[in-house]
Structure 1
Amino acid sequence: MPNHELNMEDVGKRVEKISLVVSRVIFEKNDFAIYACEGDISVKGNSVNGVAACGQTIEVSGEVDTYGRTIQVKADYIAIVQNQESAEALISSFLMECFEGIGQRIANLLAKQYKDDVVNQLKVNPEKVANSISGLSLKRTRMVQEEIDRKCGYYEELLKLRILGLSVSQSKKALEFLGFLAYEQVKKNPYLLIQVPTIGFTICERLAKNCEMDFFDQYRFAGAIEATLSLLHSETGNMYFSLQQLRAATWRVLFDEGNTCCQSCDRKLICECDVSKCEMFESAFVSALELERSRGEVAVYRIDEANFCRKCEITEKDARIALGIYYACEINIKKEITRFVQAKTQPLDEKRVEDAFLKISNSYGISVDSKQIEAFKMCIHSPISIVTGGPGTGKTTVVGILAEHLRREKIEVKYCAPTGRAAKRLAEVVGEKVLTIHKLLETVIPDEDNESKTFFGRNSDDPIDARVVIVDEASMIEAKLFRALLDAIRPDASIILIGDPNQLPSVGPGNILADLLSCQLIPRVELEYVYRQKNESSIAANAYRVLNSKKLISNNDDFTLMSFNNDCDAYKAVIDTYTKMLEDTPDVAIISPTRLNLLGTRELNSGIQDVFAKKSPGNVVKASGQSFRIGDRVMQVKNDYRTEFFDSSENAMTKGLFNGEIGEVLSLDILDNGLVVSFDDKNVSYQKNRLQDLELAYAMTVHKAQGCEFDNVIIALGKMNYRLMNRKLFYTAITRSKKRIVVIEISGTLEKILRSTTEYKRQTSLGDMLQSIKEKNTKSRYSRNQREMELSDEKDPRAIN
């Protein structure tokens, strides 16, 4: 099939099912790929039948654009042309990718001669193969044979999976996951691969079609349920779902491409809430859910009248359904919290503890109130304690004095926070080294594409070496990470959580701080007196006015409101205000609830960057649709546990970059399309393939800004989803500023937010489970090895007074 020719005159036009020959696969992930094609044309988009190999012909539909000096088709349709030539091109590409020394000409001849039996022939008949292919030496053939023999069946399976429809990298991961009989397992049940990194439900669906699997096959529905639950947990932050929620969401996943359930059903006529009326769907759905439960992948349970967790039937009223890992997570957190709560403590010497607090506060000239003293006593005495409060209520004061007390008493303590920025802020308060929770737990992820395989170096077998663990920004901790943290706290240690329950919950599933606060047996002190308000801070005052749906105070000093009739004027005001603020301090951030639209983070970041580019034009590094220049503020948007760098604060080589860390582009490598970013005490090199882990960070979403503080903050309120018009989200944005806030809105947006009744409600079972905890016993059983500790005549090793 001839290669279609495009030129610059075609830019801006749409093409329909043109034929192009792939010369190189530049990038591939799942079914998305960027191809270099013959004729100096690039194509990017999702393929309907897998990632193409070099030499294969693809049909492409989409808009013609440019990328640098190259013509690029932004495709909404890519399909590999299926014919004999295409099959041979795939095998040829496979041989070049897997065996060193096999070039394109030899690979083409081998594929044409031996087709899908080529690996077997290279293994059993190397002499025959060498004699039949011009230019292929017996020495080279023997070397390939040795490689095939060394891996004992590996390449045969790999080729079968490649022909079935997986890319080579996906085939390797499938083999790693399923073993050397992967091909037969995948043919029987392609949905086994849902748990394999880079292979999702869509790819499994394509493989199922290739294997001619029945639409109502139990394995298909089981795969859909698992994929649906994973998606729901991630998108909603919920820890469980009702049968009705799961059923409707599974329907959407299965019929996303407009499939019809059966001849008597028209998807358009069936409301999602009535999907149970389709008998064929319901039968397959319930059967598959039972299969997933029996395999331990899914948990089905209910909370009984005494708030205990009980297994139940799928169709039982109030049944809760979750992936097994999230169910186990809440169960284990409840067990750990029970041991903390039931640990026996000795009477507190209140006067001695209060004197210690006042001695430190007086030495620093700090005014304190009775609530802060109460919080200090609680932290000293209780195995687990929570200090809460909004902005300006003195949480920082309590933590600072507590840190000084622990230092004077020579008590081992570890400080941590969910993000790097929050850890840095806490370090300034306590005067000690503060780590992210991931770093404290010595987190390792063997496969960056699969964070579910996370390994924590610190755990119950090798716990954190401290008698006290203090955690700041507790509202941001997701459930799985909190479980790992509790598991790593040694039996004689205590934990102190600091946080603001009015801020947003964690990005990941769970609502840990709110669930813990629902348990009345967990000691807590809420700090209420607003010191910043006493000092005439409009920021703190307005933060509380947001929570109470009251009109905000604009004094043009530390809190300014600017309203515009359209987003263009508002956009210009944000850009102008940002550049003007930078003249006074570099610590300025733009915060928007959304990434989308003109007042979203993408457009604002692009606009700010353009302003700086005009003032100081220079070289640019481009990758993943982004441009980076020297001086750009950037954010790491993915946890990276492997990259090594020199950390000047530790004076040593170390590892670990975490989602949310903010830095500045220090230098560019134009030849290799890389760059160096300065993050506080470390400089990190980024190669081209890792630039997708960076985003511009002049503007950031509220979720990304959480845990950070800036001197000056601009809040941009434009068009957004109604769910983002949320008082808790706006409150979180306001509390990111220390000195000044400018709110820039499209007229009426702020009023809608203040009137909003939308809440961040999450479905979690932990809060219910914690209600079943009984009062502490005279005999305490709190050690993780279930060893009963008799403490009637002993001082509780968790107490630190």
Structure 2
Amino acid sequence: MPIFEGEIQVRKIRKRGGAGGIIFSSITLEPTPRRFVIKASYKVTRSPKLFKEFHIWKVKGEISQQVIEWKDGTKHTEQVIIPETLDFVKAAHENLKKLLSESPSFKGISEIKAEKLISFFGDELISIALNGNIERLLPIVGENVAKRLIIGLQEYEELATLQLLDKLGVPPRIGDSILKIWGIDAYQQITKNPYFLTAFEADLNLIDAFALDRLKRKPTDPDRLAAYAKSILFNAFKGGNTCINTSKWRYQLKRLLGNAEQTEKAIQHSIAQGEVVILNDMVQVKSMNIIESGIVDFTNQLINRTYPKPTQQKSQYYIKKYESIAGFPLTYEQKNAVKLCLAHGLTILTGGAGCGKTTVLEAICFTLENLKLTSQIILMALAGKAAQRITETTGRDAMTIAGFLHNVNVDNLPDDVVIIIDEASMVDVLSLYQVLRKLPKKGRLILTGDQEQLPPVGIGLTLHTLVNLSIPHSHLSENKRQSESSGIPLISTEMRLWSEQSSSIAFSNYKDKGIGVSFIDSNKTDLQTNVLKTYQELGGDGSDNEVLILSPVRHANGGTQNLNALIHDNFIRGKRLTFEHEEFGWVNHSLLGRAVRTGELVLYKRNDYQRDLRNGSIGKVIDKDEFSDGIIVNFSGNIVTLTSSDLNDLEHAYAMTVHKAQGSQFTRVIVVVREGRNLDRHLLYTAVTRAIEQVVFIGDKADFYNALSRSNSLKRLTLLKYLFKSKTD
């Protein structure tokens, strides 16, 4: 068979192997180009992620032929190369293209125009700009744009880093983060130790390709071995763990490196360099140890600090005054909770959903302010929807933790500020640590939430751990939110206290729209059909969230994506919204392949303070914007125009994951029950307590009861409890 050896350009990726290997079409760079399909095994391609369209590679391998048949019966013969070697040559200037098409400094250069500039000039484009050779650019762009291009690149401080990123083939999604965080130091960081890139990309095969193949580092490089040692600990973060057992760490590292000697060197180097910390037969990366130790230090300071205490008489006076204004008396539990928060620097307030925590928060704020114990109270939550809910229920402004961290200057906080974090079960260790770092020395922190609700999406356990430590803690048990007649308080309490000795739950019979908690048995085949049928029977028509579907998963059968598509296809009949694309003409705005229509319910997935939108904000699509490529959405009275690119931050809002719904409440809730690693007592309990009047579970009852016996959040491995006890004993 003939052998080809030369440079090829990737044209279309056909398939990436899960454990390595790749298939793609390509074209040679010869005067008379030839087309080949490259079929590379996992032995040749460590990381399929490396391969991008228009990248150039050098290939050597035998040429063979294969006949493929299209769906219409047409047959086609392809030239195939199975490479002996496949070496990276250069990338396609993707980071440069992203800079030119997205940075305000290069206004007037669209993505298509940036592509044309790079295709035409290639490696010369940057030198043309640095030399100010405007005449070379004029055949492609106008004079004003050419001037902006030249000035922009000449003034861009991170240009050397940008060139390095493109030389290595670092994808723009990673390159963008590197430039934002490291800035002008990025070039030095990457060349000094390319394994620092694991802070932005967890795939060590990909980092190895940058370091070993392109920067010519050795496999025995201590920085590489330490990176592998830490990668196991970083990988534990995916399960919410802040640490792992040392024996498990050693075992997994040996499997990764495949060599006992290198494993020991990796462990010794990572410990000697202070990259990892071993405590209580557990190991964690140094940065996580700093975070958990910091939380312990800050909480101990708050617990041990002396605060001015009002007299019992004054406290009673203002509590009674609050009751008079509110128009109802506080319970004994609620009064004690208020008094506890007045007396301490750190207080935890817990209770089941609807037990009156919001009322206590209002009373705490009222009493603290009237007793002159604080100059400012800041209410916040992790999720945007939860923060919005606080504002709605208390009448006080609330913000997300991210908004507080990014927008509030610590120098502007009064010494006696009180920070209240609601839905604290959702708060991960990093978020809590960052808030504590900003808290002034005389400030107070109040954490409110329910430790039986879901653990954080992020890393670690905060509220779930802190409630079991020696920290001032008040628990509310009387339910105030759901009507007792609905049965939700009784059922949720049974679920909250479920144990192996529990027998079964007395569900009410399902009779369409009504009150109570019901269960509809369904096999997996009919699951989505039954959800759709029940949604309609409960009055759901896609026009509002009076009926909401909750699922433990996003993908697969019974996941939010499928269910949102199902509701969209069956109920949404508004007009399709289109916009004119400069290359493809008139096209539909779309979400998950579905045309966006007027009347759509959509959920915004990030915090956007300029538009007054939060992660979890729900809106309704009104119309397209006549003056742009955008759509107009009404987010509870906040009318916002979203561009076509903003649609990446939207999803349909007929079905949500339980995590997304946390912090909100809805009249009727349908809960999908399907076996999976996410399904446990905390998820089901959180789901049932989202409803005010009616809950309908749909799925397999065996899966339901099995889940009630599981507590995935309590299985997370952390050192917070150990560190707290070791520093207080």
TM-score range, shorter chain: 0.7 to 0.9
Alignment of 1:591 with 2:550, yes or no, is: yes
Distance 1:579 1:118, change over 3 A: closer
The secondary structure found in structure 2 opposite 1:555 is coil
- How far is 1:664 from its partner? 2.6
Correspondent of 1:398 among 337, 360, 367 = 360
- Look up the match of 1:682: 638
**Aligned 1:628-639 pairs, distance under 5 A:** 628-639=596-607
Match of 1:786 in 2: none
Residue 40 of structure 2 corresponds to: none
Q: How does 1:238-387 map to 2 (within 5 A)?
A: 238-250=241-253, 254=256, 261=258, 278-290=259-271, 294=273, 298-302=275-279, 318-322=281-285, 324-345=286-307, 349-361=311-323, 364-387=326-349
Matched, 1:416 2:393: no
Note if 1:230 corresponds to 2:181. Answer: no
**Residue among 670, 675, 695 paired with 1:741:** 695
Q: 2:468 aligns with which of 511, 518, 540?
A: 518
Aligned match of 1:545: 494
Distance in structure 2 (CA, Å) of the matches to 1:96 and 1:406: 51
- Cα shift at 1:542: 0.6
Aligned pair partner of 1:618 in 565, 576, 590: 576
Point out the more displaced range, 702-711 or 409-418. Answer: 409-418
Structure-2 separation of matches of 1:579 and 1:162: 52
CA distance in 2, matches of 1:540, 1:172: 48
Determine helix, strand or coil for the equivalent of 2:276. Answer: strand
Aligned to 1:764: 718
Instruction: Say which SS state the counterpart of residue 763 (structure 1) adopts.
Output: coil
| TM-fit CA distance, 1:603 | 0.9
The residue matched to 1:397 in structure 2 has which SS?
helix
Q: Structure 1: how far apart are the matches of 2:605 and 2:138?
A: 51
> Deviation string for 1:246-280 (max 9, x for gaps)?
3455567x57xxxxx3xxxxxxxxxxxxxxxx423
**Does the CA-based 8 Å contact 2:680-2:710 persist in structure 1?**
yes
* Matched-pair contact (CA < 8 Å) for 2:424–2:450: yes
Q: Deviations for 1:582-619, whole angstroms, at most 9, x for unmatched residues?
A: 46974221111112332111111110111123x44533
Q: Does structure 1 conserve the Cα–Cα contact (< 8 Å) formed by 2:129 and 2:150?
A: no
Among 531, 536, 561, which residue is 1:579 paired with? 536
Q: Distance in 2 between the 1:669 and 1:396 partners?
A: 39
Separation in 1, partners of 2:302, 2:164: 54
Change (3 A) 1:55 1:525: closer
1:458 matched to which residue of 2?
409
Aligned pairs for 1:131-146 (under 5 A) are none
**Partner SS, residue 589 of structure 1:** strand
Partner SS state of residue 622, structure 2? strand
Once residues 591 and 69 of structure 2 are traced to their aligned partners in structure 1, the CA distance between those partners, rounded to angstroms, is 19
Query: Is 1:609 matched up with 2:612?
Result: no
Task: Write out per-residue CA displacement over residues 458-502 of structure 1, whole angstroms, 9 at most, x where no aligned residue.
Answer: 33x443676433222121112222122223333333222221111
Tell me how far 1:124 sits from its aligned partner.
8.8
Shift of 1:237: 1.7
Partner of residue 162 from structure 1, selected from 160, 166, 170? 166
Q: How far does the alpha carbon of each residue in 1:732-765 deviate from its partner, in whole angstroms, 9 at most, with x for none?
A: 1111112211111135322322344655332222
User: Structure 1: which 5+ runs fail to align?
Assistant: 7-14, 23-36, 38-45, 67-76, 256-260, 262-277, 304-317, 445-456, 648-656, 776-801
Local SS of the residue matching 1:536: helix
Post-superposition Cα deviations, 1:76-104, rounded to whole Å, max 9, x if no partner, equal x99999999x9699589979987999999
Contact 2:384–2:617, Cα closer than 8 Å, also in 1: yes
Alpha carbons of structure 1 residues 190 and 710: separation in structure 2 relative to 1, 3 Å? same
User: How many angstroms apart in 1 are the aligned matches of 2:555 and 2:355?
Assistant: 34
Amino acid at match of 2:54: A
Distance verdict in 2 for CA 1:126–1:743, change over 3 Å: closer
Secondary structure class of the residue paired with 2:441? coil
1:398 deviates by 2.0
1:704 corresponds to 2:660 = yes
Residue identity matched to 2:507: S
User: Which has the higher mean CA deviation after the structures are superposed, 180-189 or 209-218?
Assistant: 180-189
Task: Kindly indicate whether the alpha-carbon contact (under 8 Å) linking 2:158 and 2:183 is maintained by their aligned counterparts in 1.
Answer: no
Helix, strand or coil for the counterpart of 1:501?
coil
Residue 679 (structure 2) pairs with residue 725 (structure 1): yes
Partner residue of 2:430 out of 471, 480, 488: 480
Q: Residue 221 of structure 2 corresponds to which residue in structure 1? A: 217
The match for 1:566 is: 523
Go from structure 1 to structure 2 and tell me whether the alpha carbon gap of 1:616 and 1:121 turns closer, same or farther (over 3 Å shift): closer
Residue 65 of structure 1: how far off its partner (Å): 11
Distance change (3 Å), C-alpha of 1:64 and 1:367 = farther
Q: Is the 8 A contact 2:226 2:267 kept in 1?
A: no
Q: What does the per-residue CA deviation read over 1:323-345, in whole Å, with 9 as the maximum and x for residues that have no partner?
A: x3322222222222122111224
Distance 1:466 1:739, change over 3 A: farther
Q: Secondary structure at the match of 2:338?
A: helix
Deviation at 1:384, TM superposition (A): 1.9
Match of 2:391 in 1: 427
2:491 corresponds to which letter in structure 1? N
- Distance between the aligned counterparts of 1:774 and 1:211, measured in 2? 48
Gapped regions of structure 2 (runs ≥ 5): 1-7, 14-21, 30-34, 36-46, 72-79, 578-587
1:501 to 440, 451, 462: 451
Q: 2: CA distance between counterparts of 1:166 and 1:764?
A: 33
Distance 1:402 1:340 in 2: 18
Alpha-carbon distance in 1 for matches of 2:116, 2:473? 73
The whole-number CA distance in structure 2 between the counterparts of 1:363 and 1:106 is 68
**What does the per-residue CA deviation read over 1:185-214, in whole Å, with 9 as the maximum and x for residues that have no partner?**
75674323333x579644322222234443
Cα RMSD (Å)? 4.9
- Contact 1:635-1:695 at 8 Å conserved across structures: yes
Shift of the 490–149 alpha-carbon distance from structure 1 to 2, 3 Å rule, reads: closer
Partner SS, residue 529 of structure 2:
helix
Deviations 1:547-581 (A, max 9, x none): 33342232354224233342343322211222343
Note if contact 1:504-1:760 (Cα within 8 Å) is conserved in structure 2.
no
* Distance of 1:214 and 1:475 partners within structure 2: 45
- Cα 1:172–1:610 shift into 2, 3 Å: closer
Cα separation, 1, equivalents of 2:219 and 2:300: 47
Taking the aligned partners of 1:289 and 1:616, their CA distance within structure 2 comes to: 59
Cα distance change on mapping 1:635 and 1:198 into 2, 3 Å: farther
User: 1:453 maps to what in 2?
Assistant: none
AA aligned to 2:707 is: I
Cα distance in 2 for partners of 1:740, 1:681 equals: 27
For residues 635 and 505 of structure 1, the distance between their equivalents in structure 2, rounded to whole angstroms, comes to 22
Tell me if 1:51 matches 2:10: no
Higher RCO (Cα < 8 Å, 6 or more apart) = 1
Q: 1:555 aligns with which of 495, 501, 508?
A: 508
Aligned CA distance change for structure 1 residues 81 and 348 (closer, same or farther; 3 Å): same
Distance in structure 2 (CA, Å) of the matches to 1:343 and 1:181: 40
TM-score (normalised: structure 2): 0.75
Aligned 8 A contact 1:170 1:199 in 2: no
Contact 1:19–1:57 (Cα < 8 Å) also in 2: no
